[in-house]
Structure 1
Amino acid sequence: MEASTNQLPGTLSPLKAPRKRKRIVISCTECHRRKQKCDRASPCSNCVARNKQSLCHYENESARKQQLLEESVNRSAEEGGVYSVIKPAESNTAAQFSAFGYAKSNGSNNTTLGIFKKIEDTDTNGALISNLQSTSADHSGLREKYKSLIRQLPAKPFIEDLVNTYFQEVNLQYYPLDEGIFRDLLKSWNNLSFSTLNKGPLELSGDLQFFPGLLFQILALALQFQPPDYDPSLESLKYAAAMSLDDLATDYSESGSQILCLLGKRNTTLVAVQAGFLRTQFMKNCGLVPESWHNLSQTIRDAQEIGLHKEVFEYRRKLEATPEEVLENLWLEQLRRRVWMLLSLWDIHMAVVLGRPTTIDSRDGKPIFPIDAPIPKNRREMAPALRTDNDPPTPLTMLLWNVEIAAPLWDIFNLEKEDPRQNNIAKVEKMHKLLNQITMHCPPFFRYQNPDTTFDHLPECSWLPAARQYFRNATNFTIMALHRPYIFTNPSSRTAALKAGLEILRAQRAYFELIRVNHYKMFTLVLNTFDAIILCAAIYILHPCENGEDLDDVLQHFHFCMERFDTMSGRNTMAKGALQVLKAIHVRLKRALNQAKCPVNPLPTPAPSSGSASNNESPPELEIKREAPAPSVYPPPPHTSNEQNPTSGSPYTLPTISNLTTTNPPVSAPTPSTSNAWDAFSAPLPTPLQNQNYDFSSIAPLQPMHDLLFNDLGTVDGGLDLNTAGMDAGWSGMIGADAGAGAAAWQFEGDFGNDSFWGFMNSYHP
């Protein structure tokens, strides 16, 4: 005591050693940082409730498992041993609420989960109690099933080659994946040790859990787009005799789908959504369009589960986040927006083409779209910035313009429901005038007439020429879809739909000449073409005396279309089925034109050349009225050339009938040397439909692809050989002699109703 009292004020007393923490941290890093009670699951319920599964990991894995084992033994002893009834944990946590189906991403809404989260936020001492955990047997079964599926992945060299094929041939079509982000995930997957994989998927982060499902879909699509002379080394991937690459691709795609089903829906991530979309694309290429429509709907629900449909990306910047991590999350936000935009595009397009309902409700509004930003090589060094005019277009630029073209489909889809009896012609005309203005905003490098070819020589822009024809196709499909329900009752709609359909056929032919054989499986080569050719044929079958100036072009493209379908039929199952229907329609069209003779002097149309002559063809006639239209209040499309109206002082002219025919040669009667389909009309015969005064308003709107795919549209041989009905006999025989006695007995077969176009064709024998 004396020594201590006499101690000088400046001297330091001996300090005690700091107390060391004896308890081992067994909570996950997120719960430890937030000072919350952790249930030590993987991922824990707190991270699940906060949608932060990817951040849930443990610093001391062995201590965590030991603690869980001890708690399990103690709980089993307290509740009567291992044979006692398992009692559910009494908890009012957000994690357990989400198990009842409440959306985790909508916690701020006025739902039970949202109300509870507000209460929980005010309780600083509140702790989240664990969800019901699966038994060890369940984890073991999940682990073994997961391992059995990932064992089907090929060796890494094959994966690398097929992934390269996918990004070179497939990803550019719709751009659902960011190659840099995918490569990072692939590297992380390849670095996983066997011991880690042996523990099962629950030991992996959310994205890595679903990554093999995405990888399987990529491999399947890459195998679909292999050329005929593919690498012989791929033969070693086949495990049975007489097995094709298509069979192997189907196996891979189904394995990827099984992984998504195995992991369930509660911990869905963006990778799972991307895998679901690729599965939809694969099924459409296989001709399984009804199945792909169902899969697309399920994928959209998965996307809504993780909040892709919301305008704000729920990412909170962490204080300890580095600038590189912040930049990477900005690009992730752009990717999330892009994927949702792509799903919205497919949803409305499939609904209009197939006559099916949409999964997305248009009343929910349009979320924020991604900006047209060139993706850098390193996302951690540059923030998203809008592409300038000097920057070459990217596949994202193509996707954004595709969405711009397809946006009116939502209004067209709603109009079909609002006007089931096709009476609102005034609204159709108004919408058509607005559709005419789409081409005004077309970027110069996407125009099919007088395009800006500045970037065509760049290797990364090799897709530009084909994209121009694709957009030409898509623009006219929107116009055709608007008028298609009215073709049986309104002459102006027949003219507008016919001209749009003919322009689709021109674009599809030009597009077909730009692709290679390995692209023949693309469903886009059949969908719009089949719709357009059936619509054009139906118009001339039922009204052969109208639109005579376009008959030659329609007949030529009918022949070209049949040739394309015949060429693709070995690789495209939809083309094979559609070809049979076209040959049967050919018989009806032949007989209808043979019996019709109308006072029409059409313009002589030269046959298109075998090359890509479609780029120089006249633009489509978009005006509804056949007479000279009134001056339009809208400016003309910017790509219209001055040569169309040399007397006009304005650099642009409206694409009206009078302007399009200004520079054409005078209309004259066909000469014997002119190849004109109307020359074969030898005698004026009355049209049977005119005598019957048939009420065309009773026919249901024409939807050829819907009937082909959903109603099993087929044909029944009534005595006429399909193989010689059109192609083998030569196109010159289409208009001439009678089609034969068997034509009258020709029938369509399927589940369509009696009021459908096909039912009418079965009773129509001109």
Structure 2
Amino acid sequence: METSTDQSPRSISPLKVPRKRKRIVISCTECHRRKQKCDRASPCSNCLARNKQSLCHYENESARKQQLLEESVNRAAEDGGVYSVIKPAESNTAAQFSAFGYAKSNGNNNTTLGIFKKIEDNDTNGALISSLHSTSGDQSGLREEYKSLIRQLPAKPFIEQLVTTYFQEVNLQYYPLDEGIFRDLLKSWNNLSYSALNKGPLELSGDLQFFPGLLFQILALALQFQPPDYDPSLDSLKYAAAMSLDDLATDYSKSGSQILCLLGKRNTTLVAVQAGFLRTQFMKNCGLVPESWHNLSQTIRDAQEIGLHKEVFDHRRKPETTPEEVLENLWFEQLRRRVWMLLSLWDIHMAVVLGRPATIDSRDGKPAFPIDAPIPKNRREVAPAPRTDNDPPTPLTMLLWNVEVITPLWDIFNLEKEDPRQNNIAKVEKMHTLLGQITMHCPPFFRHQNPDTTFDHLPECSWLPAARQNFRNATNFTIMALHRPYIFTNPSSRTAALKAGLEILRAQRTFFNLIKVNHYKMFALVLNTFDAIILCSAIYILHPSENGEDLDDVLQHFNFCMERFETISPRNSMANDALSVLKAIHVRLKRALIQAKYPVNPLPTPAPSSTSASNNESPPEPRIKEEFPAKLPEQKNTATATPYNLPTISNLTTSALPPSVPTPGTSNAWYAFSAPLPTPFQNQNYDFSSIAPLQPMHDLLFNDLGTVDGGGGLDLSGGAALDAGWNGFEGDFGNDSFWGFMNSYHP
């Protein structure tokens, strides 16, 4: 049988490589296997419904996250939101590196993330470290927890009512929100369908995820500032008997804080930072000042997470961005700057007032300040431009000038560390001179003396009269903080601090006459007053023979302070604690003056402070000679009665010493007051430099400062009965503190 030539060996062709699937699978493995539509959550809703969470995973995690990011951007762009146009230019793998804690935009390339970005830029195929997977934790239950929290939001009519209250009564105090931008977000939130919310927060854009947290804080503050005759329809929001609006406000604020905690820190936005700041403000108004300090520190960290502390605003925009969106984003950039400026202001102010560390490092520098530009009705039509002299001031104008005055607190804060023994008097005097120069450039409409009232009649400037007193308060607080560490060792600092403290008390009294009852919860009504009156009292207790020309004013304002604290105590939790300390200090102050043989007459009860004064008109300063008739005889020597004028340094350093012997026309009472006396301090050669710097609010809030009997049984009429029923101050303060010294001081 012949072999057929057809059966010759055939050439073996190489096997074809199976064609790869071009379409990337972004569904989870279970949904892909079952051919179901996947919502790409982790775990997805289908796996949750089937109780198969453990089987829900993704073959290409990076592609899934990139798809979610693109869809989020597209949804936000369709809404026309300003927050959606500007997005960080970051690769997916770089974002995965950021999950390890590296800063996304720290301004340098020295970190591991910066080095990786350099390598990634040189990688042409984009396949570098493609196997890196996210280590995000289990997200089961996130959707239900989020929904349970947002269910606590009241109905839309109540939300609108309380939001209006917030922007009328609260936002003008510190100006953390832009009403137009907030209203746009509120509209987007109200337009969300139930099906969109039912998918969970990860299906929403970043700002909308955190928006209910911000909304809860706004509702809480609006409830906090309700008048006594509030709208009775708000009672329908209460869910239990004997529940107050304050209880409801606390619930709302806690719910907002829980939303921020639930969503975590990896996708923080400006909305979350604003919510954190409002939470800080709410807690301070509740008297939870230590807790608010911690919350402020966390909010600053959130702000740094999104780069508010550096000028890293990404100006790259999509090609399809319209001119209107460009203008809107310019205003958004101004808002970012404003929020960081406000956080910086609060950080240093709370550090100085409370004696706590600052979160922000002043050596890092500061980004550009926002432009003092009038907010237009439509941000899509006008670019930010500085206001002219003919434009009325805005709350931002006030905020910018407060920053000018309070920014020196950073130098004061650092000086306390550099000069713990209070020896650098020359630097203190130089800084005092610079502070005087800042105040001399204050705009005329912010001056409390002979102000320019051109804009006072405008409805949008109804806040201006009260703002003048706030600026006066901030100016003198900086001066008082500068000299406060030196009052135990330096006579010129005692005089400067006393004058500044007395100006704060005057400003606080005038401010109190301008506000309404619903503002009594403002923490500044207690913080600023308490610091000033304790400092003034300490100066006269330890050095009763100095600054006699201001003693009557201090005693009278001491009485005004106690009257105000009595008035606001039903609505202000801090006022009660501060009042008991003031009464006890009043005892020691009068004892010191009696020991100095100064005839201290009982103070007359002043007329009740008017709480219904017009907001457009500042009440006149109290006329001391009329309200306090027991006035010291004036000195014949005019050189010793030279008034204190800022910023002349000679007024700080020149000691106005009273005559050592009575001169013709000088009363025996004045001689007895001004002559050197053998006080217990002098007999013991007491070293006042051993007393720690005075920080009244820190001791009141952090060291549980109080009196044994609460000050309620004190006899303030003078004489031997002053000490009856009082065993001293109690609290966790050191032996070198002013309060410990007062407990051992028995003149």
Question: For the superposition of Structure 1 and Structure 2, which TM-score range results when normalised by the shorter chain?
Answer: 0.7 to 0.9
Distance 1:291 1:442, change over 3 A: same
Deviation at 1:436, TM superposition (A): 1.3
State the partner residue of 1:750. 731
Structure 2: distance between partners of 1:23 and 1:380: 42
The one-letter amino acid paired with 1:41 is: R
Written as runs of structure 1 = structure 2, the 5 A alignment for 1:116-155 is: 116-127=116-127, 129=130, 132=133, 138-155=138-155
Structure 1: distance between partners of 2:666 and 2:579: 32
Written as runs of structure 1 = structure 2, the 5 A alignment for 1:93-492 is: 93-106=93-106, 108-127=108-127, 129=130, 132=133, 138-492=138-492
Q: For 1:614, which of 608, 612, 621 is the aligned residue?
A: 621
The one-letter amino acid paired with 1:703 is: Q
Local SS of the residue matching 1:701: coil
State the partner residue of 2:714. 725
Deviation at 1:178, TM superposition (A): 0.4
Q: Give structure 1 stretches of 5+ with no counterpart.
A: 1-21, 29-36, 60-90, 619-625, 638-652, 662-666
Q: Give structure 2 stretches of 5+ with no counterpart.
A: 1-20, 28-59, 78-90, 611-618, 626-637, 657-662
State the partner residue of 2:503. 503
The one-letter amino acid paired with 2:262 is: L
Local SS of the residue matching 2:141: helix
State the partner residue of 2:635. none
Written as runs of structure 1 = structure 2, the 5 A alignment for 1:729-744 is: 733=717, 736-742=718-724
Deviation at 1:132, TM superposition (A): 4.1
Structure 1: distance between partners of 2:537 and 2:336: 43
Q: Judge conservation of contact 1:628–1:658 (CA < 8 Å) in 2.
A: no
Structure 2: distance between partners of 1:715 and 1:511: 29
State the partner residue of 2:690. 698
Structure 1: distance between partners of 2:581 and 2:64: 58
Local SS of the residue matching 1:370: coil
Deviation at 1:43, TM superposition (A): 6.2
Structure 2: distance between partners of 1:595 and 1:577: 28
The one-letter amino acid paired with 2:513 is: E
Local SS of the residue matching 2:312: coil
Deviation at 1:693, TM superposition (A): 1.5
Q: Deviations over 1:689-717 (max 9, x none)?
A: 22222111110000000000111111112
State the partner residue of 1:570. 570
The one-letter amino acid paired with 2:141 is: G
Structure 1: distance between partners of 2:67 and 2:342: 32
Q: Judge conservation of contact 1:327–1:382 (CA < 8 Å) in 2.
A: yes
Structure 2: distance between partners of 1:235 and 1:116: 57
Structure 1: distance between partners of 2:71 and 2:606: 62
Distance 1:214 1:737, change over 3 A: same
Distance 1:53 1:104, change over 3 A: farther
The one-letter amino acid paired with 2:64 is: A
The one-letter amino acid paired with 1:763 is: S
Structure 2: distance between partners of 1:737 and 1:678: 20
Q: Deviations over 1:554-576 (max 9, x none)?
A: 00000000000111111111111
Deviation at 1:329, TM superposition (A): 0.8
State the partner residue of 1:542. 542
Structure 2: distance between partners of 1:401 and 1:97: 41
Q: Judge conservation of contact 2:545–2:673 (CA < 8 Å) in 1.
A: no
Q: Judge conservation of contact 2:706–2:731 (CA < 8 Å) in 1.
A: yes
Q: For 1:687, which of 673, 679, 682 is the aligned residue?
A: 679
Local SS of the residue matching 2:720: coil
Deviation at 1:656, TM superposition (A): 5.8
The one-letter amino acid paired with 1:757 is: F
Q: Deviations over 1:199-239 (max 9, x none)?
A: 00000000000000000000000000000110000100001
Structure 2: distance between partners of 1:539 and 1:590: 13
Q: Judge conservation of contact 2:498–2:536 (CA < 8 Å) in 1.
A: yes
Q: Judge conservation of contact 1:402–1:471 (CA < 8 Å) in 2.
A: yes
Structure 2: distance between partners of 1:104 and 1:585: 52
Structure 1: distance between partners of 2:543 and 2:676: 15
Q: Judge conservation of contact 2:714–2:723 (CA < 8 Å) in 1.
A: no
State the partner residue of 1:10. none
Q: Judge conservation of contact 1:153–1:216 (CA < 8 Å) in 2.
A: yes
Q: Judge conservation of contact 1:587–1:739 (CA < 8 Å) in 2.
A: no
Structure 1: distance between partners of 2:592 and 2:166: 47
Distance 1:370 1:521, change over 3 A: same
Deviation at 1:739, TM superposition (A): 3.3
Q: Matched residue pairs, number?
A: 652
Q: Deviations over 1:507-551 (max 9, x none)?
A: 000000000000000011111110000001111111111111000
Written as runs of structure 1 = structure 2, the 5 A alignment for 1:654-673 is: none
The one-letter amino acid paired with 2:114 is: G
Structure 1: distance between partners of 2:339 and 2:475: 22
* 1:765 equivalent in alignment to 2:728: no
Calculate the TM-score normalised by the size of structure 2.
0.81
Structure 1: distance between partners of 2:67 and 2:292: 34
Q: Deviations over 1:386-416 (max 9, x none)?
A: 1011000001111101101101100000000
Deviation at 1:281, TM superposition (A): 0.4
Structure 2: distance between partners of 1:499 and 1:424: 21
Deviation at 1:678, TM superposition (A): 6.9
The one-letter amino acid paired with 2:305 is: E
Deviation at 1:99, TM superposition (A): 1.3
Calculate the TM-score normalised by the size of structure 1.
0.79
The one-letter amino acid paired with 1:364 is: D
Local SS of the residue matching 1:93: helix
The one-letter amino acid paired with 2:736 is: D
Distance 1:545 1:607, change over 3 A: farther
The one-letter amino acid paired with 1:175 is: Y
Written as runs of structure 1 = structure 2, the 5 A alignment for 1:527-606 is: 527-597=527-597
Deviation at 1:455, TM superposition (A): 0.3
Deviation at 1:139, TM superposition (A): 3.7
Q: Judge conservation of contact 1:372–1:386 (CA < 8 Å) in 2.
A: yes
Q: Deviations over 1:581-622 (max 9, x none)?
A: 001111111111111037x99xxx99999672229999xxxx
Structure 1: distance between partners of 2:181 and 2:76: 25
Structure 1: distance between partners of 2:336 and 2:71: 17
Distance 1:741 1:525, change over 3 A: closer
Structure 2: distance between partners of 1:166 and 1:132: 44
Local SS of the residue matching 2:621: helix
Distance 1:179 1:670, change over 3 A: farther
Local SS of the residue matching 1:390: coil
Distance 1:655 1:420, change over 3 A: closer
Deviation at 1:319, TM superposition (A): 1.7
**Equivalent pairs: percent with the same residue?**
80
The one-letter amino acid paired with 1:239 is: Y
Deviation at 1:109, TM superposition (A): 2.4
